Structures are given as structure tokens and as C-alpha cells.
Amino acid sequence: MVGIGDDSMDQSQLIVEASNGSRRALARLLTLIQQGDQECIDSVLSFSSVKSIGITGPPGVGKSCLTDCLAKIFADKGERIGVLCIDPSSPISGGSLLGDRMRMEQSGVHDRIYVRSVATRNSHGSMPLRLKAMISALSMAGMDRILVETVGVGQTEIGIVSMTDSILLVDGPDRGDIVQAEKAGLLELADVVVVNKGDLPGSEQAAANIRSGLALGPASNVPVLIVSALNRTGINELVEALENIQLRASVEIVKWRHRLSSAIMDELVSNPSFDSTVDDLAEGRISIEQAIQRIIRQ
């Protein structure tokens, strides 16, 4: 039998081993999915995904700490938790810090929690769709719930969190760059909003401002909570809110719009002529309009 760490293990063997609980096989399978292995992606997408929560918000508001806290609470209840931490990469070198695990002190040592850092590399269009396959792979491997943490807010994050069942938007007491979430439309898509670092001054005012903003739109019933992941206050109320999310038809339409857009983008980026077309554009041999027509014809 081929060893689990052997790259020669075929896709069907990896799936069997991963579904039987092998973390090494699961890690290899996730790597292949992230690299765009279409056979692996197609195979795992046939599995039904378990509950997934997208956790997003401005940088520096404590998303990793809160994700760590939630993962441990769910795991302590007997659930197996998969955590995917999306980390941006250099558009030139493809390098990425992948430092989320350093901030997840509890998840890293809990045998019911599986943490995976995911570099975006140069997968601008295909990352969301590959993320969906990674969620399916974790579900197939026996996880009961998946937490997906993004790096910030913006249109890219909308594409990523649209692949999850629900969205948790995290802010800080100084409101950070939450206006960027409002501009991107993430605030209206959120199922739950929390002001983290609730032990610091300004938390109540930040929550009040968010509630005022939500009251003017279709998300007026979205709960806005104050928590402190560091002090573990307000976390039980947050877990209860996450367990009692009511789906909104308007939000589901937006999510499926982004999922379809991601699928179309993935088809385009995966086109064999895509890279050569980019080279021709960079060298000035064709125009952007000619590039579009070439890929469409392909």
C-alpha cells in the first residue's frame, strides 16, 4: 500500500484515507484542491457540506482570537471542527505569512479541531470555488462544522464568505474600517454582527452605530452583540445567535450570484490559453478586447 505522505497516492486513495480520519491524507487532499486539481475538486463536491460560518471584518479586530474561541466552544460540546484561515499572498512572489495558527492557541492543541491556513496565491477568481471544495473535503473527513476566517473586508471577501452558510461580521470598538464593509455590502449580508474587544471603551457606542445603520435597511433584524474573545464574555450569547440564524431570501440570492460568478471566473482562469493571453497583453501584442474574445472563443 502506498504511504499516506507519498505524492503518488491517487485521488481515490486520498479520499478513502481522509474519510477514515487520516489527517495527513486530508492535508494532502486539501493541498491538491488548493492547487486546482480538478479531479479532486469534482470528487469532493459530490459530498454534502456541513454547517459553515464565514468570519470576516477589518484587520486588527480580533477575528483569529474569536475564531479560536468559537472553535474551542463547539469542540468542547463534542463537535469536530474544521478551521480554514484565508491568508493573502503577494501578487508577485506568491508568498504568504500564514500566521493565523500563532494566534490560535487553543485550537492548535485540541484533538477535535483541524486548522488549515490557505494562501490565496494567484488564484484571484478560483479561490472561492476551491474554498467550497475544501469545505466539502473537511465535511467528508468527518467535521461537524467549518469556520472560515478571511483576512479583511471587501469584494474579495464577499466572494469567499458567499461560499459559507452564514456570515459573522466582526468589528472593533473604534469601528476600525467597518465603513469598508458597508461599501462592499458585507454589512447587509451579515447574519450576525459582533463588536469584539468589548472590554475596551467605545464598544457600546460602536454597537449602537452599527444598529442605527442596519435599522435603515433590510438587515434591521440582524443581531449586533458585544463580546470579548480575550475575556470570554458574551461568547455564549454569540453561539446562541449563530445557532438560531434565520435565512433571508435576499441574502441567499446575493450568495448564489457570487457563487455563479466565481464558477464562471474559474472556468475562464482555468482556460489553457489564459496564461499565454496574459503574456500577450503584457507584451502589447493584443488589446484587452482581443484577449476577451480569444478566451471566449476557446
The pair phi, psi for residue 170, each rounded to 5°, is -110, 135
23 and 93 share one domain? no
Res. 223: pLDDT tops 80: yes
Both 154 and 138 in one domain: the answer is: yes
Looking at the chain, which runs of residues are DSSP E strands?
51-56, 81-87, 113-119, 145-149, 166-171, 192-195, 224-226
The region of weakest confidence among 36-50, 133-147, 259-273 is 259-273
- Reported pTM: 0.84
Residue 228 lies in a domain: yes
> pLDDT tens-digit profile of 72-88?
999 999 999 999 998 76
72 within 8 A of 66, measured Cβ to Cβ: no
Shared-domain flag, residues 38 and 106 = no
**109 falls within a domain:** yes
Q: How confident is the model at residue 213 (pLDDT cuts 50, 70, 90)?
A: confident
CATH of residue 211's domain is 3.40.50.300
Instruction: Single out the residue in 231, 246, 261 at which a domain terminates.
Output: 246
Identify the weakest region by mean pLDDT among 20-34, 95-109, 213-227.
95-109
Q: Which amino acid is at 288?
A: I
Residue 208 has pLDDT above 90, yes or no: no
Lowest-pLDDT range of 48-52, 168-172, 224-228, 265-269: 265-269
281 part of a folded domain:
no
Same domain, yes or no: 68 and 158:
yes
Does residue 113 have a pLDDT over 90? yes
Exposure string of 15-41, with b = 16+ CB inside 10 Å and e = fewer, is bebbbeebeebbbbbbbbbbebbeebb
Write out the H or E segment, with its range, that includes residue 64.
helix 63-76
- Please say if the pLDDT value at position 1 is more than 50: no
According to the model, what pLDDT value does residue 206 have? 86
Instruction: Look at residue 260 and tell me if it is in a domain.
Output: no
> How far apart (Å, rounded) are the C-alpha atoms in residues 52 and 76?
18
For 179-207, what is the mean pLDDT? 81
Q: Please indicate, yes or no, if residue 224 is contained in any of the structural domains.
A: yes
pLDDT tier, 291 (very low <50, low <70, confident <90, very high otherwise):
very high
Whole-number Cα distances in Å, 87 to 52, 65, 141, 151, 170? 18, 15, 23, 6, 17
Written as nine digits, the cell of 86 is: 484565508
The verdict on 72 and 135 lying in the same domain is: yes
Band (193; pLDDT cuts 50, 70, 90): very high
Statement: residue 3 has pLDDT above 50: no
Residues 153-170 have a mean pLDDT of 80
Which carries the bigger pLDDT value, residue 262 or residue 78? 78
User: Structural domain tally of the chain?
Assistant: 2
Average the pLDDT over each of 22-26, 34-38, 63-67, 198-202 and give the range with the smallest value: 34-38
Same domain, residue pair 83 and 185: yes
The C-alpha cell at 6 is 507519498
Q: What is the mean pLDDT of residues 9-30?
A: 90
Mean pLDDT of 175-188: 62
Note the pLDDT of residue 261. 84
Domain hosting 2: range is 1-44
Do 70 and 218 belong together in one domain? yes
